Amino acid sequence: MNKIKIKNAGQIRNALTGWYNKNCRKLPWRKTDDPYFIWVSEIMLQQTQVNTVIPYYQRFIHQFPAVKHLAAADLQQVLKLWEGLGYYARARNFHKAVQMVMTIHDGRVPDTLDAFKALPGVGDYISAAVLSIAFNRPLAVVDGNVKRVLARLFEIDTPVNHSSSAKLFQSIAGVLLNQNDPGTFNQAVMELGALVCKPSSPACGACPLTEMCLAHQHQSIDKYPIKLKKAAIPEHRISVGVIFKNKNVLIIRRPENGLLGGLWEFPGGRMVKNETPEHACIREINEKVNLNVAISSKLTRISHAYTHFKIEADIFICDYESGRVRLNGPAAHKWVGLERLDKFPFHKSNQKFLSTLIDMQRNEGCTR
């Protein structure tokens, strides 16, 4: 592990904050000191690009303008507003957290590290970001952008995605932190990583830290940050059935805990070895919802990548034949008309074929 000696912390601090004050993006959550609004933005910004977050943030605070409004909302309403943003555990944990804020903290976002970090979904990054920006607490933020900036600035050989790197980067960020204005400094480092010190083709000519950057001095920018190679992401074949019973289709809700918890989907699942997509569709439907169906046509094939795996899914149009819904895994079910599907929060892989399904309804007149 590197032993980093920082002799120019003050110079780095001044250069960064000066650059930030002149060049930072005018983002909506930077126009407020409301800790709830800042918390919303930081939750959404985890694993998600700024341009994607902006419209979600604006819709979210319009619908839930204060902690009490979000705490009182039904989780399905929250998930629907979050639909398409991904990483839905963020929304579920945030909903639980604000309910705790209402019951334990009288509706006020706690301003101490221990109290704030005790809330669901609040880890090192969220606590440092929200508390430093909203309450001026001297806590250093470390995310992917910060690691990249620091790795290049000090030529850090420890892989950024190795467990041993967390304490190292946190320690360096803590030394550099402006104790008097930690929120601005934290945002400055992250902004530099987002706008200038990019993963590829960094704009070193526009960087305020060029003269202090060891990787720039040694022409080793492309080497940093160092990352361990990840194992290949597994791919799964999936079969999904859109079951028509008269003019309604069957949708099921996933259990609240777990991957894509609380979201709706059409029944289906993984193909087993030597199984055809059609057989997998019929089998999975029977196993999960106890219905017998007949496939009438193939709607489409979609591909989707999650964080730890990829899927390729065949989507079939099915006709209900017999049976009564009895759930084996799903938390709930509904028979709904296609025109009502937009009222339910679906995960991204199902969203990819909803428009095709609606177009089919229009073209065929939904005469089932």
Catalytic residue (one of 42, 155, 191, 265):
42
315: Cα separation from own chain's centroid: 25
344/253 Cα distance (integer angstroms): 10
Beta-carbon contacts of residue 94 (< 8 Å; ≥ 6 apart)? 39, 40, 43, 70, 78, 120, 121
Which residues are 315's β-sheet partners? 240, 300
Question: Residue 236: phi, psi to the nearest 5?
Answer: -125, 140
Cβ atoms 173, 146 nearer than 8 A: yes
Catalytic residue list contains 83: no
And the tokens for 233?
A: 């992401």
Q: Which of 93, 102, 92, 30 lies closest to 66 in space, CA to CA?
A: 102
And the tokens for 298?
A: 């193939």
Question: Residue 101: phi, psi to the nearest 5?
Answer: -60, -40
Q: Which residues are catalytic?
A: 42
